[in-house]
Amino acid sequence: MTATRHLVSTNPLPKGTPPVLDARFAIGDVVRHRLFDFRGVIYDIDPVFANSEEWYESIPKDLQPAKDQPFYHLLAENADSSYVAYVSQQNLLEDDSGEPVMHPEVGRMFHALADGKYRLHSIHRH
């Protein structure tokens, strides 16, 4: 399992939210969904849920994750397509396949996969 990391999101947080929370994953980590057949590389992290209520309510009630955990923005892929995904920490696992993520945006944002991680191009660091 990946060591716990601290994070600061680039997204605005709800009032009263602590600015730093523990996260299992970091930007550049390759992960896979624990229930659905897709994987991706993390390009941003929200310390807590920061998407729309409409998006959240579209998730079946029995699968809705807790909002008070890190949520990850992924450049994701499955056998059929590439897309952007927003996934709760509880639904992600480390991907130890060593295979690159073939999303078309990966090369624009990251250096090549090395030791199971991607490293952001300096222009994307803050």
What pLDDT is attached to residue 122?
84
pLDDT value for 2: 40
Q: What is the longest distance spanned by two Cα atoms in the chain?
A: 40
The yes-or-no verdict on residue 39 having pLDDT over 90 is yes
Could you say which DSSP state residue 42 is in?
E
Residue 88 — very low, low, confident or very high, per pLDDT cuts 50/70/90? Answer: very high
At residue 61, the pLDDT reads 96
CATH number at residue 58: 2.30.30.390
The pLDDT value recorded for residue 16 is 58
- Which pair of tokens denotes residue 63? 């699968």
Phi-psi region of 57 (alpha: psi -120 to 50; beta: other; left: phi over 0): alpha
Query: Residue 98 belongs to what domain range?
Result: 5-124
- State the pLDDT at residue 22: 84
Q: Which residue has the tokens 């807790």?
A: 66
How high is the pLDDT of residue 1?
A: 40
What's the rounded Cα separation, in Å, for the pair 37 and 28? 20
Residue 67 is classified by DSSP as S
Whole-number average pLDDT of the chain: 87
**pLDDT band at residue 3, thresholds of 50, 70 and 90?**
very low
- Tally the domains of the chain: 1
Task: With CA atoms as reference, report the closest residue to 41 among 69, 11, 6, 77.
Answer: 77
pLDDT range class, residue 7, cuts 50, 70, 90: very low
pLDDT at 126: 54
